[in-house]
Structure 1
Amino acid sequence: MSTNQMEQFKLLKNEITRFMMAYKFALDAFDTKLEILKEEFQFLHDYNPIEHTKSRLKSPESIMRKMYKKGFGISLPSIKDNIRDIAGMRITCSFINDIYRISDMLQSQSDLTLLEVKDYIRNPKPNGYRSLHLLIEIPVYMSDRQEQVCVEVQIRTIAMDFWASLEHKIFYKYNQAVPTRLLQELKTAADSATALDLQMERLHKEITEIKEDQDQGSEGELNQIRVSNQQFQLPEALLRLMGGG
């Protein structure tokens, strides 16, 4: 390889690296947003709607396979325009209502742009798959420019995530040729997972109502706030100024 070819290869490698880094930074920024939402919600409501999160960055090889499969021209602008799931974020919640609560909180943030919604909870796939899919653009600030980067966000309950994970493993084992009997059993299992979600949501609502009734009598905690692991007593003068005393 000549010196000129070597330099061209280095430039191309750097360009591809920066392209992939933008998606990695988008996931980092998105994860920070979720951490803020989790902490704030925990402080205000003594409850965290997010059980856990998992991010995923497609490999260049996987991106190329998808581009060839779809018949798109191979260039970085073409990849950015046509492959919308290079960066993926999965958010797992306890309850169905949490899914839409988190979706609303994300969509209310002015720097995020909602591109597409696919609601497989209200409209499940024929195999029983349920999840809320969002395509969201998030700004990423590089050293010399700002990039609008697309992130695919999947929000689902623990039961939905458990079913989807096992369904994927079964399909992988059978190399997509799953017997009809097992397909029906998978669909039945998906329906059972939905019934469990609805039952646990009802129980959660009833327990929350009981707790709220019990908390109404504990006036001593009203003059205290907790930030991270620190507890602060609110001064009476501050409460009076703000109309709280």
Structure 2
Amino acid sequence: MDIEKKKNRFEVEEFEKLKNIMVKYNCALEIVMTHLNNLNTYYNAFEPVNPIEHIKRRIKSPESIAGKLNKKGLPLTAEIADQTLHDIAGIRIICAYAKNIYEIVEIIKNQADFTVIREKDYLMAPKESGYRSYHLIVELNLGRLFGDQICQVEIQLRTSAMDFWATLEHKVKYKYEGKMPEFLSQELQISAEQIHELDERMYHIHELVDEINEDLI
């Protein structure tokens, strides 16, 4: 275990460089979060229903960054981390319904201050494990203070049920160090399908309630 921990650590000099690099990722997070908080405020003020339940943010720890570089077979340097990892800064948007996710995605794509450079729709095409989510990598200019450096932030969008499933899968994977027993893998796949069906049924109920309310007006 101690050997594994040592493998996932930067040398002192690279660690200091990494700390400086992390400053720009924190600033990039703040910029994107400002846009998303403004969107959240708009929905609360002007729309009857806010499709955003909550927004989470995170910066990868140095150990997590080192672990990912090791997994990719790359040198443990701050520069390599900055150049090759696209998810050092991350934001997760939890939506009420799966249908809302596409609405939020289109809004993000139309933001002038950043550009979507990569997207993966795991809602329409879930992973073999059953994982569902919508992933975007956005790129933004940090301005003159940072010498017009470009920074990337990953945005994941999912429902509460999808988020619960993903958290459980992550815990199971961690427990078995990525070598999950087949029966657990199958249970997670079945649960993922049931969660998908539940999301669809909940949205159907939401639509029925809206129709009933319209008839009562």
TM-score by length of 2: 0.85
Q: Deviations over 1:89-134 (max 9, x none)?
A: 1111110111111110000111111111111110011111100011
Distance in 2 separating the partners of 1:116 and 1:43: 31
Distance in 1 separating the partners of 2:27 and 2:140: 10
Which structure ranks higher in relative contact order (CA pairs < 8 Å, sequence separation ≥ 6)?
2
Distance in 2 separating the partners of 1:191 and 1:25: 38
Letter in 1 for 2:43: F
Q: Return closer, same or farther for 1:86/1:205 CA change in 2, 3 Å cut-off.
A: same
Aligned 8 A contact 2:21 2:82 in 1: no
Q: Return closer, same or farther for 1:60/1:142 CA change in 2, 3 Å cut-off.
A: farther
Q: Return closer, same or farther for 1:21/1:100 CA change in 2, 3 Å cut-off.
A: same
Q: Deviations over 1:186-206 (max 9, x none)?
A: 111111100000001111122
The partner residue of 2:66 within 64, 68, 93 is 64
Q: Return closer, same or farther for 1:211/1:37 CA change in 2, 3 Å cut-off.
A: farther
| Residue 77 (structure 1) shift | 4.1
Q: Return closer, same or farther for 1:175/1:80 CA change in 2, 3 Å cut-off.
A: closer
The partner residue of 1:98 within 93, 97, 100 is 100
Q: Deviations over 1:193-243 (max 9, x none)?
A: 00000001111122223334556xxxxxxxxxxxxxxxxxxxxxxxxxxxx
Aligned 8 A contact 2:115 2:140 in 1: yes
The partner residue of 2:181 within 167, 179, 190 is 179
Please name the residue that 2:41 is paired with.
39
Matched, 1:152 2:154: yes
Please list every run of 5 or more consecutive structure 2 residues that lacks an aligned counterpart in the other structure: 1-11
Instruction: State the SS of the aligned residue for 1:127.
Output: coil
Q: Deviations over 1:25-72 (max 9, x none)?
A: 111111111111111122222211111111111122322332243233
Instruction: State the SS of the aligned residue for 1:92.
Output: strand
Matched, 1:118 2:133: no
Instruction: Please tell me the root mean square deviation across aligned C-alpha atoms, in Å.
Output: 2.3
Letter in 1 for 2:182: T
The partner residue of 1:49 within 48, 51, 57 is 51
Please name the residue that 2:167 is paired with.
165
Q: Return closer, same or farther for 1:24/1:212 CA change in 2, 3 Å cut-off.
A: farther
The partner residue of 1:201 within 190, 200, 203 is 203
| Residue 136 (structure 1) shift | 0.7
For these two proteins, the number of residue pairs brought into alignment is 206
Distance in 1 separating the partners of 2:139 and 2:131: 25
Identity of matched residues, %: 40
Judge which range, 121-130 or 203-212, deviates more.
203-212
| 1:207-222 superposed matches below 5 A | 207-214=209-216
Distance in 2 separating the partners of 1:142 and 1:86: 22
TM-score by length of 1: 0.76
Judge which range, 166-175 or 97-106, deviates more.
166-175
Instruction: State the SS of the aligned residue for 2:33.
Output: helix
Q: Return closer, same or farther for 1:184/1:75 CA change in 2, 3 Å cut-off.
A: closer
Instruction: State the SS of the aligned residue for 2:116.
Output: strand
